[in-house]
């Protein structure tokens, strides 16, 4: 069994029928608010891409993509996407999206190497979004402004859900607290990154941790990041490295921090070359996506993903993501959840 948290005296506040209605309401309302707030238009996205083009997101660099042969392409291999971080930037270029505007899509993925638990499933559904920016936007002030717009859409969604289902009490903090991962490390010496996340979210409720991917003062990164989408090595005006981050909130049901979004200003030519070298991945410069970026054929951008099932789980005050989405779970996890009143779909 994966890592499972059983909240003490847990009782779902909504029936399975109400839950399905709530999921629909959240997804429809939030994506409209996200689209309006960031000036995004919806596009259709792929479930899989060709292997070997550098388009698929390799996440932390160790996860295996689900692959299959395509008969009509001479058994060329396709990969189910992990996310659409690079594909979206190619699409911005293809659609000639101007600075200040962008795209969003429903991203569905299979991540076979996930450690299953309350927040992690084999099936991943996100609102993936990307917005064209200018060189002047590549700074931490702009990043924070975008984060606040996304969080405002979350607050409006929470209000709607609480009005619709009065048994659900609001709990989100009114504002996001920003902190760099190195500041966080110094604030909680001796704690692991996950323990730091719990501590800071318990205190502030909603936190954006910046600078994810680069090594900190202890020689370790807060978390791993691929070298070719987020920019985690360019200095920002606060004196730290990194123009990306994770948005987390305190989950009162699980009593742990919960990541809702990973996002950031994307690499430009210089930062991608630097990060490829740091990670020993220079051979990627010969891949399709990387060649286009190095040739100046892709726009500067900011983007990220927002977990759909996670957002629904949070607002509907569920203890397990399997109460929101249909997936596969270990038998012993299903058994333990059933005993605790956690109704996995």
**Catalytic residue list:** 57, 111, 126, 246, 259, 262
Dump strand ranges (E) for 230-319: 244-251, 256-265, 301-307
Quote the CA–CA distance of 79 and 114 in Å, as a whole number: 16
Pure H helices in 95-219: 140-164, 181-187, 193-204
Which structure tokens are listed for 244? 């990306």
Quote the CA–CA distance of 12 and 69 in Å, as a whole number: 43
Residue with the two structure tokens 């309350």: 118
Quote the CA–CA distance of 154 and 34 in Å, as a whole number: 9
Residue with the two structure tokens 């040739």: 295
Is 12 in contact with 258 (CB distance < 8 Å)? no
Contact residues for 325 (Cβ-Cβ < 8 A; gap 6+): 121, 123, 125, 309, 345
């Amino acid at each position: 069994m994966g890592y499972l948290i059983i909240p003490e005296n847990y009782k779902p506040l909504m029936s399975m029928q109400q839950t399905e209605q709530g999921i629909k309401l959240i997804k429809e309302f939030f994506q409209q608010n996200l689209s309006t707030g960031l000036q995004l238009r919806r596009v259709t996205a792929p479930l899989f891409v060709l292997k070997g083009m550098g388009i698929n997101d390799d996440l932390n660099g160790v996860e295996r993509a689900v692959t299959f042969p395509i008969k009509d392409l001479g058994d060329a291999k396709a990969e189910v996407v992990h996310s659409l971080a690079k594909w979206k930037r190619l699409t911005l270029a293809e659609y000639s999206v101007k600075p200040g505007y962008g795209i969003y899509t429903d991203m569905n993925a299979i991540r076979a190497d996930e450690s299953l638990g309350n927040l992690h499933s084999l099936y991943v559904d996100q609102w993936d979004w990307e917005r064209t920016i200018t060189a002047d936007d590549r700074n931490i002030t702009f990043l924070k402004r975008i984060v606040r717009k996304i969080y405002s859409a979350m607050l409006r969604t929470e209000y709607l859900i609480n009005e619709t289902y009065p048994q659900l009490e609001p709990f989100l903090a009114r504002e996001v607290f920003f902190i760099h991962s190195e500041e966080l490390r110094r604030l909680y010496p001796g704690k692991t990154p996950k323990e730091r996340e719990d501590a800071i979210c318990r205190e502030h409720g909603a936190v954006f941790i910046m600078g994810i991917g680069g090594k900190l003062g202890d020689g370790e990164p807060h978390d791993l990041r691929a070298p070719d989408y987020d920019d985690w090595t360019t200095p920002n005006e606060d004196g730290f490295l990194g123009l990306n981050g994770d948005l987390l909130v305190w989950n009162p049901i699980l009593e742990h921090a919960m990541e809702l979004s990973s996002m950031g200003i994307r690499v430009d030519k210089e930062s991608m070359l630097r990060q490829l070298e740091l990670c020993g991945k220079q051979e990627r410069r010969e891949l399709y996506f990387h060649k286009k970026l190095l040739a100046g054929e892709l726009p500067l951008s900011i983007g990220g993903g927002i977990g759909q099932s996670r957002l629904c789980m949070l607002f509907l005050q569920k203890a397990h993501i399997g109460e929101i989405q249909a997936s596969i779970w270990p038998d012993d996890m299903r058994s333990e959840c059933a005993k605790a009143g956690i109704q996995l779909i």
